[in-house]
């Protein structure tokens, strides 16, 4: 098979030396690494079709790989086979500033994309923290801090080109901003984590760079007050740009890690974006809402420097937990209806305290999505078990409260055992669709489904 791949694609695009295989054996999650048999670097849709045909012939698994920043093991080739690394398919295919649309190959990263867009006064706002590839973000329906305003990755997509396992190449949508034509394949392939087809082109809706941005940080005595204040913002239908809950423990951790001096209190980090006068009005209203909600301290971040400082700290929080010498790291990712957030955050804090593990809580509080960041000793089977137990308890509770086991990280390896509990009979329909498009089960096997 390797020889056949080399013959057709050329030696330079097919690699099987050990360092290549190792580089494609893991992601940013705590899941065990696994080596692919071979790594291919296609340069075109046609070359992806070729790889798919060869894989089909040899009944070999195919796994897509973006930049490896996934958090649930989606890119780990647990059954071996071919890993397709999309880093050579990273070009700008079409950019229409007047339509606010852009078409890119899947290997382009979001900061590369923004460099192009920014020159035309536009930006792509989805920000999962890591400089992920657009293909990876699409495959996992990523989101992050700006989802409260812009939604998730799925909400940005207009069209995708997808290579199916039988070699067909389809387009899932059009470049129109809305459509009621045909079944919504765009939504279906987004979030399918490489299990239904290989995404080879992505057309996105982009946005004007806001004329102005202003941020603020406010502290509360309790987490309940934080979530209540956030709810008031939503109720006023204020088009907030970011609204993040950061618990006391996380502030403390990042202060130590990054030399910040934020007050060590349960906090909301806020940001508004838009026309200057609109933003000023929003910030004023927010301040009023926060005061009514019992805010102890309000610190405006009006300058770009102050805002960057704020969000740099926010993004460093997972790193602050992650990069503790000799420690393993793990982040939960549940999402629940808004009103259940205080209860869930309490529960997470209780579980953390009971477990004896060090950890903090960070939340995309406008969406009901939060992460419990846990540092544990990899060599202590007790701590490993405790971390797993904490995750499972949170997942069970979230599903009981009509929430989801994953708000933005995806299913991959870590959440597949909860799929039946969350989806019930619908999981059988998903399996039937998987079987319809991939009857030999070669596309990213052992992901999503057990």
The nearer residue to its own copies, 99 or 264, going by C-beta atoms, is 99
Q: Which among 90, 17, 16, 84 is positioned nearest to 54, based on CA atoms?
A: 84
Minimum distance of its own copies from residue 106's CB (angstroms): 17
The nearer residue to its own copies, 34 or 238, going by C-beta atoms, is 238
C-beta separation of 396 from 426 below 8 A: no
**Residue length of the chain:** 450
The nearer residue to its own copies, 35 or 148, going by C-beta atoms, is 148
Minimum distance of its own copies from residue 427's CB (angstroms): 7
Stretch that binds its own copies, among 6-14, 26-34, 376-384, 400-408 (CB under 8 A): 400-408
Site for its own copies in 278-297 (CB under 8 A): 278, 280-282, 284-285
Minimum distance of its own copies from residue 171's CB (angstroms): 6
Rounded Cα distance, 157 and 237, in Å? 24
Q: Which among 73, 72, 8, 79 is positioned nearest to 40, based on CA atoms?
A: 8
Site for its own copies in 49-108 (CB under 8 A): 96, 98-101
Minimum distance of its own copies from residue 435's CB (angstroms): 9
Minimum distance of its own copies from residue 74's CB (angstroms): 10
Minimum distance of its own copies from residue 41's CB (angstroms): 26
The nearer residue to its own copies, 261 or 450, going by C-beta atoms, is 450
The nearer residue to its own copies, 91 or 339, going by C-beta atoms, is 339
Between 151 and 180, how does the x/- string for binding to its own copies read (CB under 8 A)? Answer: xx-xx--------x---xxxxx-xxxxxxx
Between 116 and 145, how does the x/- string for binding to its own copies read (CB under 8 A)? Answer: -----x------------------xxxx--
Site for its own copies in 1-60 (CB under 8 A): none
The nearer residue to its own copies, 256 or 429, going by C-beta atoms, is 429
Minimum distance of its own copies from residue 11's CB (angstroms): 32
The nearer residue to its own copies, 13 or 409, going by C-beta atoms, is 409
CA torsion, points 318, 322, 328, 330, in degrees to nearest 10? 10
Please pick, from the candidates 91, 323, 426, 439, the single residue that binds its own copies as defined by CB under 8 A: 426
Minimum distance of its own copies from residue 30's CB (angstroms): 18
Site for its own copies in 406-425 (CB under 8 A): 406-411, 415, 418-419, 422-425
**Radius of gyration of the chain, Cα coordinates, nearest whole angstrom:** 22
Please pick, from the candidates 238, 268, 313, 361, the single residue that binds its own copies as defined by CB under 8 A: 238
# binding residues, its own copies (CB under 8 A):
101
Site for its own copies in 333-392 (CB under 8 A): 335-340, 367-369
Please pick, from the candidates 235, 297, 350, 417, the single residue that binds its own copies as defined by CB under 8 A: 235
C-beta separation of 244 from 145 below 8 A: yes
The nearer residue to its own copies, 24 or 149, going by C-beta atoms, is 149
The nearer residue to its own copies, 315 or 423, going by C-beta atoms, is 423
211 near its own copies (CB under 8 A) = yes
Site for its own copies in 254-283 (CB under 8 A): 273-275, 277-278, 280-282
């Amino acid at each position: 098979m390797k020889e056949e791949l080399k013959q057709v694609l050329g030696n330079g695009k097919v690699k099987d030396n050990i360092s290549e295989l190792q580089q494609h054996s893991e992601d940013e999650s705590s899941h065990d690494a696994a080596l692919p048999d071979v790594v291919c670097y296609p340069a075109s849709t046609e070359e992806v079709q070729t790889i798919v045909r060869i894989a089909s012939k040899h009944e070999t698994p195919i796994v897509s790989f973006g930049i490896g920043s996934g958090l649930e093991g989606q890119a780990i080739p647990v059954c071996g086979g071919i890993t397709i690394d999309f880093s050579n398919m990273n070009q700008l295919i079409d950019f229409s500033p007047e339509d606010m649309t852009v078409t890119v190959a899947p290997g382009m990263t979001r900061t590369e994309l923004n460099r192009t867009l920014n020159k035309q006064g536009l930006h792509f706002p989805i920000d999962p923290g890591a400089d992920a590839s657009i293909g990876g973000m699409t495959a996992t329906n990523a989101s992050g801090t700006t989802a409260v305003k812009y939604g998730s990755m799925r909400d940005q997509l207009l069209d995708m080109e997808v290579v199916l396992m039988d070699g067909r190449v389809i387009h899932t949508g059009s470049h129109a901003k809305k459509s009621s034509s045909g079944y919504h394949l765009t939504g279906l392939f987004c979030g399918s984590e490489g299990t239904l087809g290989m995404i080879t082109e992505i057309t996105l809706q982009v946005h004007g760079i806001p004329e102005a941005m202003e941020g603020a940080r406010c502290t509360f005595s309790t987490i309940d007050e934080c979530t209540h204040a956030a709810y008031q913002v939503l109720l006023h239908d204020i088009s907030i740009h970011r609204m993040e809950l950061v618990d006391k423990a996380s502030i403390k951790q990042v202060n130590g890690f990054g030399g910040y001096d934020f007050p060590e209190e349960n906090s909301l980090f806020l940001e508004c974006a838009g026309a200057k006068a609109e933003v000023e009005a929003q910030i004023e209203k927010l301040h009023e809402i926060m005061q009514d909600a019992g805010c102890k301290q309000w610190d405006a971040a009006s300058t770009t420097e102050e805002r960057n400082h704020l969000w740099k700290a926010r993004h460093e929080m997972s790193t602050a937990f992650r990069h503790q010498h000799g420690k393993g790291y793990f982040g939960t990712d549940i999402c629940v209806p808004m009103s259940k957030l205080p209860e869930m955050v309490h529960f997470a804090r209780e579980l953390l305290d009971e477990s004896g593990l060090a950890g903090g809580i960070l939340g995309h509080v406008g969406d009901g999505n939060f992460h419990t960041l846990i540092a544990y000793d990899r060599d202590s089977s007790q701590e490993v078990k405790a971390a797993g137990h904490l995750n499972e308890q949170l997942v069970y509770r979230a599903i009981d409260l009509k929430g989801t086991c994953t708000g933005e990280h995806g299913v991959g390896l870590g959440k597949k055992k909860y799929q039946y509990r969350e989806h019930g009979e619908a999981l059988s329909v998903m399996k039937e669709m998987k079987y319809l498009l991939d009857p030999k089960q070669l596309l990213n096997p052992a992901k999503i489904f057990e």
